[in-house]
Structure 1
Amino acid sequence: MKKIYFPVVGICILLFSILFIPNTSHAEQGEIYEIGEIILNVRSEPSSSGKVIGQLVEGNKVEIFQKKHGWAQTYYAGEEAWIAAHYLIPVSGKSQQAKTDRSNEQVTITASNVNIRSGPGENHPVIASTDSGNTYNIVKTSGDWHNIELTNGNTGWVASWLTNNGTNNNAAGQSKKQTNSVKNTKKANGTLNGYTIVVDPGHGGKDPGAIGLGGIYEKDLISPTAEAVAGQLRSAGANVIMTRSGDYFVTLGKRVAISNSYDTDAFVSLHYNTFPMLSINGTSTYYYSDKDAGLATKVQSAMASTVPLASRGSLQANYKVLRENRAPSILMELGFITNPNDLAHIKTADYQNNVGQAITTGLQNYFSE
């Protein structure tokens, strides 16, 4: 009798644990988060030594089922996977995931060579392309993306800011009509009359950029600098488009899309630099290809003769906002906010105005050739 009793008890306990004890490691429904890092490794276990089984990119949304020792559990390619929890941004409520039914509306494309994607985001594959002037029926909208009905009966997603019906289609509230009005303005050598310049203040919103001495954020220094630059350019006759006009987050893809949606003559991205060694200082201008090199040289030369910081020259770099931009494009590092001398200048209105003057002069010299 005893030989039967213990196995029976063991089986009963096992059945009870399976049927009545909840499985806490795999919740049926998790919480939605957004990836806040440019590239985030997906690992097989909650450890930095875990095998990398894939990668997620900034803006991707994931469902998290549990957190453990700074790691968050999700699923990747059907398998349990882990990602670093401190790179996750909570998506509050279901409203951000909701897709609004807009089946009675139409949308017109306002830019050339616009990608149509399989889903609402730049991480989804491109399935087709379209051009300015084409009109489509809207099926639904998700965030900044419209799901449109294609001529072959299928549907695809387009960025709303590249249409006449979107949150950022006028590039931070600026009218496309203003850009069109300068197309017929004579572009005179030595002036910026008739030229459209896109000014791109780096970072913003949830992305503070680099952190300098005293905990100062790069984004908080870039905003007044960008305003000073835009003011100088407008005074010289340029039509200025800002990729953002306040403290909010704009993806790299959207910055490029804004530039490509206008008849842009030059794109200037503004940043401040950092380095662990406090002695490193100076300004630099980056370009991607030969079409950008001349612009970088002219602007950096003007910086060297206008601002009181050392010049580190013009350098080649593979930045997305340069690589995917159709216009001549540069990315400027306007000084090191980890260098005491640089930062003392950078924080002043005089320095920011001098940066605006240097960029204006550099552009004038570039367009005069």
Structure 2
Amino acid sequence: MKNIRFFTFTLGTSILLFLFLFIPVGHAESGQTYEIGASSLNLRSSPSHSSEIIGQLAEGEQIVAFQEAFGWVQTYFDGEEAWVASQFLVPVDKESQTQATASSEMITVTSTDVRVRTGPGTEYSVIGYTTKDDTYTLLETTNNWHKVALDNGKTGWIAAWLTNPVSSQAAPQTETNNSAVAAEETTNGSLAGYNIAIDPGHGGKDPGSTAFDGSLEKDYTLSIASTIAKKLQNAGATVIQTRTSDYFVSLKDRVNLSESHNTNAFISLHYNAYPIMTVNGFSTHFYSNGNDRILAQDIQAALAKYLPLKSRGVMRGDYHVLRENSDLAVLVELGFLTNPNDLAAIQTADYKNAVADGIVEGLMDYFH
């Protein structure tokens, strides 16, 4: 019995040695490029279907092979050795690959903290961030979004209106084309294609809160709404205002007006009041968790960068214009009219411009 067991062991060992010594391990030709021919392909830690999965590749993505063994191709993924099954790979012709690379367009990012997403739209998840003047190879364009090659070998999507072709940036600008460039920057701004509803709170027979000096909330919201609207339009957005002068608009009509314009975001403008004069600061309110809360956080964070007042953070608010609104909606309280320091700031042009800058930036942060 012992002899039989020994014979079995030595025969198995001999087979393994034969496989190791005589099955060839092919080396791909100096960096051969392959394209993924399956909808999803696992990257594994070693050339075996039972080995650990360390990543995934999507159809159309490309890898560079460094060796082949037992029906597997070795490449690198996030700096680590990885293996993929060779039957799902399509060799890329080197001549066409060189031509594609030579003719591919380069783009550069024109804003800071631009979000890189998994697909061409804001509904896709964020996989990273880029910043101003970063340059990428353009792979394709879909629905005003650019697919680009990332530094880690993967791909991602960036909003096209936040980029410029490298060639157009490098070209010298003459005096005759300066106005055209300025017009292009205005019409192709960061919020191009978005409908934004601005809702100046109160109005007409509804004065809103009263400041300690007797001034009225309805006048402050209307005044700052026009400043915000102009800066949003300069960023490329289409702006809908629920009122443009001192007249009464019901809460229901405000929501209906927004919903009738396919609004991407609804922002209601207000100023706070409290019997205790020391209470101060600004806040952003949302009704439901999810996208409403995320937008509120982005706007509050951006306002905090610009405003000299205390940030009170984001809060859940059961307001009609938020609760009954099917659009993405937030409400901002831009300071306390009953606080002398807040009111002094609120009454300045600098404060209005700072609020407008913060809201534009917050919307760009959310949508991109």
TM-score (norm 2): 0.49
Larger proportion of helix: 2
